Chains A and B, each alone.
Chain A
Amino acid sequence: GEDVEQSLFLSVREGDSSVINCTYTDSSSTYLYWYKQEPGAGLQLLTYIFSNMDMKQDQRLTVLLNKKDKHLSLRIADTQTGDSAIYFCAATPRGPSSASKIIFGSGTRLSIRP
């Protein structure tokens, strides 16, 4: 089945760009998502990309999808202290029961240095 992997930690300086990476195993995954979880809160959908797209930009967020390598990245420009959170990559695989499942990575904890 689908597996989604992320590195656990990322530390960046305030004002720099953050790049959070994710790899997935199911090449037929249809939608790929980025969620943000702030301390003590649920997951908030940040953005998503459909598998026939290579890039999606939304204000400070840029999502890049490399289908050949099954690699997804989230770039946050001008990282601010409010961006400190855990970021989850997720994928919706294809298949008869895929419409019921969203597979999540373990999350990347982003910390911001002054």
Chain B
Amino acid sequence: NAGVTQTPKFRVLKTGQSMTLLCAQDMNHEYMYWYRQDPGMGLRLIHYSVGEGTTAKGEVPDGYNVSRLKKQNFLLGLESAAPSQTSVYFCASSYGGEAQAAFFGQGTRLTVV
């Protein structure tokens, strides 16, 4: 079972470059999330989606955009990368509702130089 798959696993960007991180889940989950993880700060929610075609802002949305054109995919875009966006990015998905156990991908380590 694949679960939640993120691509790429590692990436180095120059300041001002753009990129898209892809998240795919094969569990038919309604809800999908993008988090960033920084040392000592735990996980912070960037954007989330409660279903195909919907997106919403999380705690730290600035500098990121997302799209959920297909239920199984959730894309995170950086239009103009900044060094402050150096982080590990995690995608997660869940069934939704109150039983919110989320399943996580392996993470993408992004460095912006």
Contacts and interface: CB of A to CB of B under 8 A. Distances in A.
B90 A42 contact: yes
Contacts of B58: 101
Nearest to A5: B42
A48 B100 CA distance: 10
A35 B33 CA distance: 16
Contacts of B96: 99-100
B104 interface: yes
A99 B50 contact: yes
Given A48-B101, A99-B50, A100-B56, A41 B107 contact: yes
A24 interface: no
A91 to B, nearest CB: 9
Instruction: Give the bracket for the number of chain B residues in contact with chain A.
Output: 20 to 34
Interface in B1-21: 4
A42 B97 contact: no
Interface string B75-113: 000000000000000101010111111111111000000
Contacts of A33: 100-101
A45 to B, nearest CB: 5
B42 A88 contact: yes
B22 interface: no
Contacts of B33: 102
Interface of A: 8, 30-31, 33, 35, 40-45, 48, 88, 92, 97-102, 104-107
For the complex of A and B, 8 pairs with smallest distance between CB atoms: A42-B104, A106-B42, A104-B43, A43-B104, A92-B100, A104-B42, A42-B106, A30-B98
